[in-house]
Structure 1
Amino acid sequence: MTTHTPLISVIVPVYNQEAYVAACIGSLRAQTMDDVEVIIVDDGSTDDSVRVMRSAIVGDARFTIVEQANQGVAVARNTGLDMARGTWVCFIDPDDVVDPEYLATLYGETRAHPHVDVIMSACVAFDSASERRQRFFPSGFVVADEAGKKPLYRQLMDGAYMQDAGFVTAIGVPWGKLYRRALLTEHDLRFDPALPRMQDNLFNMEVFRAAHELVYVDYAGYHYRVGGLGARTVANTAKGLYHPAIDARTRLMHEYRLDNDAELRQAWATEQVNLYYQELKAVAALAPRDWNAIRRACWRRAQALRPRLAAVDRQVLPKAGRLKYAMLTNRFMTTVAATLLWKNHGE
């Protein structure tokens, strides 16, 4: 007896999403394309997510719920990848929803481009008050060589690149895409659990490199829920949780020889400085609203970041990047930055 291989494996990692996950599942059950399997990986939720999910999938054999101890979203997605049987893999976040024709539309692009390894699309960003159509790039395109991948690498490091003002996310997300599972298997492409931040961005950098052909379509059937940057995000940034991702990007830039390209080298240097400056802002935000306390916190963090900043090629930085670099490396300019952050404390 042979087991049917679905066309698409949909992977949904879940952690404490009892308020939203039923809507996500409902949008998947409503898909016009039904030759799919949906693997829901509960990553040790402590709320009522599992009960809500069990209720939401009743009567639909395409859905499987896997429960595991909390290990983070990277491990949850990898668990789904290990179980996936589909020709294509699709990731959907549990607080988002998709239009009924979402999977059919993306799969239709694979038929139009039989050699494609990755189909990429945009989204509608929404919150409780509004929604806004996003376009990661101005129009659709096909990439079939390494030179054509440059805009993709560029936007991985600079989310604003080729995007409209007011963008909220960029091409580095794992959702809004179909990945050829054979590509991921052949190159052993997985999400790195050692990265506390940007696992999805670095995963896509590796995928883009391995892919022979990529297609971007200006289609927004994915509805991305925009969350605010809460106190936990600030605290995590202050802990330096972006450092492993910066180190991984450095390794890949060298390995792929992307640092030989002047434009990508500038984007890479700017990304590093921006992330380090966000760290400075985070320690200032966590300090008491006292100028001396904020100044001391900024001085200490800037000093700790000096060895990392020494590896940044400041000569390629644009004007804004050079200013932030100075604020991170020059004691007087760090004091200026601390004063500005003190004035904006709590805003």
Structure 2
Amino acid sequence: MVKISIIVPVYNTGHYLEQCLDSIINQTLEDIEIICVNDGSTDNSLSILEEYANNDDRIKIINQENKGQGFARNNGLKNANGEYILFVDSDDWIELNTCEVLYKKANVLDTDMLFFCAARYIEDEDKYDYTFKDYNYSSLGGKFWNRIFTYKDVPNIFKVAVSACLKLYNTDFLKKSDVHFPNNFFEDNFFFYSLFLKAEKLSIVENQFYNRRIRDDSTTQSGGRAFMDSIIAANQIIDVFKDNGLFEQYKNQLLRKKFNSNISRFFGIDDSLKEEYWGRA
């Protein structure tokens, strides 16, 4: 069993993929496996993956028809053998000591999920943003860093970043929870809250390990039809709380979150889709 399985879903990110893979294969913790799930890419992504795999036997390539990032991540999970799981999107990259520090900390604290910080790299402006509160957990006041907590300890649980890429997951915990990504966009929401409400040992390290690329043509920035799935995602969150018997306790916050999310996506979606979006919301 390797220490960490890193799952990288790949779809037409050939322009960024080498930077992502370089940040992974050069980790100071070498006892890792790198599971790259090629989600039917039509650019040069697969050839890049094959070139890297020929030079590093820790890389495993899984090819699938284009079924979306959630399906690709689930496919990666089915093939993971590590003690812990880490997700990295193929247009992002991680710091070189990420795995080593996280593995040591997760073992000391025996965490189900270990959260860590991220910076946003704004591609159009070629600059970094370290102030985004969802990615630095500043809204939690730093009081949960390097200590064990559960969702019950957090005053506003909707201030915690849902991104799947900003946590190190204990594989046994994932298997026991039996949670998978849904096959729609904004799939991180369902996956995060399903695990967050079950976890008995959470912690946060203040290190900024992850670099999130913000680009105009990404799914969450483009304003295209994928934005329709934000309505599905909002309803999935509500269903998670209902399934855990927590809807009444968090009802006001959940409905406020759904309203704010839908309004935000409405203003971001292409004008030609606004009427259809509002009709579904």
Query: TM-score under structure 1 normalisation?
Result: 0.71
Unaligned runs of at least 5 residues, structure 2: none
Pairwise CA RMSD: 2.4
- The answer as to 2:156 corresponding to 1:179 is no
Which residue is equivalent to 1:336? Answer: none
Amino acid across the alignment from 1:188: D
In the alignment, does 2:185 pair up with 1:197?
Answer: yes
Instruction: Note the 1:196-235 alignment, pairs <5 A.
Output: 196-228=184-216, 233-235=222-224
- Native 8 Å contact 1:122 1:135 kept in 2: yes
Match among 228, 253, 257 for residue 271 of structure 1: 257
- Does 2:19 match 1:23? yes
Does the alignment pair 1:47 with 2:43? yes
Secondary structure of the corresponding residue to residue 58 of structure 1: helix
* Deviation >4 Å, runs of 4+: 229-232
Contact 1:42 1:68 survives alignment (8 Å):
yes
- State the distance in 1 between where 2:269 and 2:26 align: 45
Instruction: Verify the 8 A CA contact 2:122 2:129 in the aligned structure 1.
Output: no
Q: Per chain length, whose mean CA-contact separation is higher, i.e. which structure has more relative contact order (CA < 8 Å, sep 6+)? A: 2
> Which of residues 110, 113, 118 is equivalent to 1:118?
113
Q: Deviations over 1:124-165 (max 9, x none)?
A: 2113310122512342153444522554x3225xxxxxxxxx
Contact 1:7 1:86 in 2 (8 A): yes
Q: In structure 1, how many angstroms separate the alpha carbons of the residues matched to 2:277 and 2:150?
A: 42
Structure 2: how far apart are the matches of 1:237 and 1:272? 17
Q: Say whether the 8 Å CA contact 1:183–1:210 is kept in structure 2.
A: no
* C-alpha distance in 1 between matches for 2:201 and 2:24: 27
Tell me the distance in 2 between the aligned counterparts of 1:192 and 1:301. Answer: 20
> Residues of 1 paired with 2:129 and 2:93: CA distance?
14
User: C-alpha displacement at 1:185, in angstroms?
Assistant: 0.9
Corresponding residue number in structure 2 for 1:250: 238
Q: 1:272 to 1:237 in 2, by over 3 A?
A: farther
Q: Number of residues paired by the alignment?
A: 270
User: Which one-letter code corresponds to 1:242 in the other structure?
Assistant: S
1:26-64 Cα shifts (integer Å, max 9, x gaps): 111111101111100000000010111222333211111
Using the TM superposition, give the Cα deviation of residue 282 of structure 1 relative to its aligned residue in structure 2, in angstroms.
5.3
More strand by share: 2
- Equivalent position SS for 1:275: helix
Greater gyration radius: 1
Deviates most, 180-189 or 220-229 = 220-229
Task: Return the offset for 1:184.
Answer: 1.0
Percentage identity across aligned positions?
A: 23
- The one-letter amino acid paired with 1:233 is S
